[in-house]
Amino acid sequence: MNDKEKITVAVFCVAIMLTVSVGAIINSVQDPVAVANASPSIANVNAAIEFSATGSSTGADSYEWLFRDNTDPVSGFTFTHSFTMEGIYEVGLLVKIGGKTALGLVKVTIRNYYPEARAVHDSIACEDEVKTFDASTSTDQNGGMTSPAIIGNSGTVR
């Protein structure tokens, strides 16, 4: 093989190596991984739940959360959200890298505890007798209870 043929072969080999290397770089965009986490996964209505993409691909182009409760999607690696209605929600996390998308799901259970009304009185009532009730020991785990219209926190019922 003469020097001209050696140079031609060498240039050809370098061109193939560059083509293979560039092709590997272009195709090196890895498939994204989406792992959706919720803490806690069981909560009361209006309680704050922390959602996290921990375990998902790092450095993604975007992390988008879909809560499926008629609220708009939000972006971020972590996000705090609360649900206003009881039910089981399957929250979605979309992780996007270089035009590829992965979906991760996490279920959260939202409970609605109804208030527990306790009306305490000091004795048995007789007909036409006015009695005072104390409702101060009533509870509402959701924090939204207001005094009843007929019986106040220390009201009278006729």
Per-residue pLDDT reduced to its tens digit, 76-95: 999 999 999 999 999 999 99
Instruction: Identify whether residues 90 and 147 lie together within a single domain.
Output: no
Q: Tell the residue number behind the tokens 């006729």, with chain if given.
A: 158
Nearest to residue 13, comparing CAs of 3, 2, 24, 21? 21
Instruction: Identify whether residues 152 and 103 lie together within a single domain.
Output: no
Q: What are phi and psi of 24, to 5 degrees?
A: -65, -40
Q: Supply the CATH number for residue 57's domain.
A: 2.60.40.10
Instruction: Identify whether residues 62 and 125 lie together within a single domain.
Output: no
What pTM value is reported for the model? 0.59
Per-residue pLDDT reduced to its tens digit, 17-74: 544 444 444 456 789 999 999 999 999 999 999 999 999 999 999 999 999 999 999 9
Split into its structural domains, the chain has a count of 2
Instruction: Identify whether residues 81 and 120 lie together within a single domain.
Output: no
Instruction: Identify whether residues 121 and 103 lie together within a single domain.
Output: no
Instruction: Identify whether residues 118 and 107 lie together within a single domain.
Output: no
- B/e letters for 16-43, b = 16+ CB within 10 Å, e = fewer, are eeeeeeeeeeeeeeeebebbbbbeeeeb
Instruction: Identify whether residues 97 and 76 lie together within a single domain.
Output: yes
Task: Identify whether 58 is part of a domain.
Answer: yes
Task: Identify whether 78 is part of a domain.
Answer: yes
Q: Which structural domain range is residue 107 located in?
A: 37-111
Average pLDDT over residues 114-126: 70
